[in-house]
């Protein structure tokens, strides 16, 4: 910690905080809708897109395009699937999408070997590495987070109704499907951008734990949203600082900090009641 080179580590800290805050923000609705698996599902769809983009000859930041495309398509399939018509619960659809996109991703990675190409870039995407986060990455993450935040601010009351019950929201004349689909597209974009930097496991923990912790501690959708974003940022930044101070792997510590926040929130709520 005393030898921390701020010039080098500043984008890492900013990246951790932004990824945590945006994941916490969208996590409020994802956990509220009981589809926490969405984060990891979209992340694997993005991976599949990047893998096939790589096979098509794309490299480096250009892989973001196919990754984003695959993530958005996957999110839209979930958003537009009508549970009444498909007779499938959202989590069942997610399970199908997750296994299908993961299967595609690993098929593609297998093809790299068969075709004699290096899969280094795409393997890096699978796990991510916050320590290599640079300012261009932070700018992309911030842009996605601001778009998501703006969307949530504009359609807050509609998203709140969808979170309570999508079917009831439709029945009340709310354009629930369109608003939810728009949210999922921005969620896919945010997670894809974050995924390149922080990896799938951290995304899963940062979309689930901060929101679940906020739900334990507060009443009211707006407060939960703010607290969840704050917990996400604290997990991302605090986890990194803790890792730097103890010389432990940052990703693992960030995940553990967000888990500890949830555990602490559960204990606090039980103690208070």
Q: What residues line the site for another protein (CB under 8 A)?
A: 31-32, 34, 84, 154-158, 160-161, 163-165, 167-175, 179, 212, 214-215, 218-221, 223-224
In the complex, the smallest distance separating the C-beta of residue 217 from another protein, rounded to whole angstroms, is 9
Dihedral sign, Cα of residue 81, residue 83, residue 85, residue 86: positive
Longest dimension (CA), the chain: 61
DSSP 256: H
In the complex, the smallest distance separating the C-beta of residue 184 from another protein, rounded to whole angstroms, is 17
Give the containing element (helix H, strand E) for 99.
Answer: helix 90-114
In the complex, the smallest distance separating the C-beta of residue 28 from another protein, rounded to whole angstroms, is 9
Per DSSP, the chain holds a count of helices (H) and strands (E) of 14, 0
Choose between 214 and 241: whose C-beta lies nearer to another protein.
214
In the complex, the smallest distance separating the C-beta of residue 176 from another protein, rounded to whole angstroms, is 9
Choose between 34 and 134: whose C-beta lies nearer to another protein.
34
In the complex, the smallest distance separating the C-beta of residue 12 from another protein, rounded to whole angstroms, is 32
Choose between 64 and 161: whose C-beta lies nearer to another protein.
161
Q: Are 112 and 122 in contact (CB under 8 A)?
A: yes
Q: Are 248 and 234 in contact (CB under 8 A)?
A: no
d(CA 78, CA 72): 10
Choose between 40 and 163: whose C-beta lies nearer to another protein.
163
Choose between 6 and 84: whose C-beta lies nearer to another protein.
84
d(CA 21, CA 43): 17
């Amino acid at each position: 910690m005393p030898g921390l080179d701020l010039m080098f580590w500043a984008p890492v800290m900013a990246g951790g905080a932004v990824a945590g805050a945006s994941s916490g923000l969208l996590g409020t609705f994802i956990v509220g809708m009981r589809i926490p698996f969405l984060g990891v599902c979209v992340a694997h769809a993005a991976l599949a897109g990047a893998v096939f983009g790589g096979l098509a000859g794309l490299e480096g930041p250009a892989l973001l395009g196919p990754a984003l495309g695959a993530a958005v398509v996957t999110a839209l399939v979930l958003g537009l699937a009508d549970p009444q018509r498909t007779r499938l619960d959202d989590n069942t659809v997610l399970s199908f999408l997750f296994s299908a996109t993961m299967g595609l991703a690993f098929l593609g990675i297998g093809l790299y070997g068969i075709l004699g190409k290096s899969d280094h870039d795409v393997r890096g995407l699978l796990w991510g590495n916050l320590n290599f986060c640079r300012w261009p990455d932070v700018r992309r993450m911030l842009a996605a987070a601001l778009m998501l935040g703006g969307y949530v601010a504009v359609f807050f009351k509609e998203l709140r109704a969808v979170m309570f019950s999508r079917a009831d929201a439709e029945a009340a004349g709310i354009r629930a499907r369109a608003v939810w689909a728009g949210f999922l597209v921005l969620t896919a974009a945010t997670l894809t951008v974050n995924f390149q930097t922080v990896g799938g496991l951290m995304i899963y923990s940062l979309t689930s734990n901060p929101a679940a912790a906020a739900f334990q501690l507060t009443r009211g959708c707006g407060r939960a949203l703010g607290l969840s974003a704050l917990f996400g940022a604290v997990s991302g930044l605090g986890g990194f600082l803790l890792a730097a101070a103890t010389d432990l792997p940052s990703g693992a510590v960030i995940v553990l900090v967000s888990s500890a926040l949830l555990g602490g929130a559960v204990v606090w709520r039980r103690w208070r009641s």
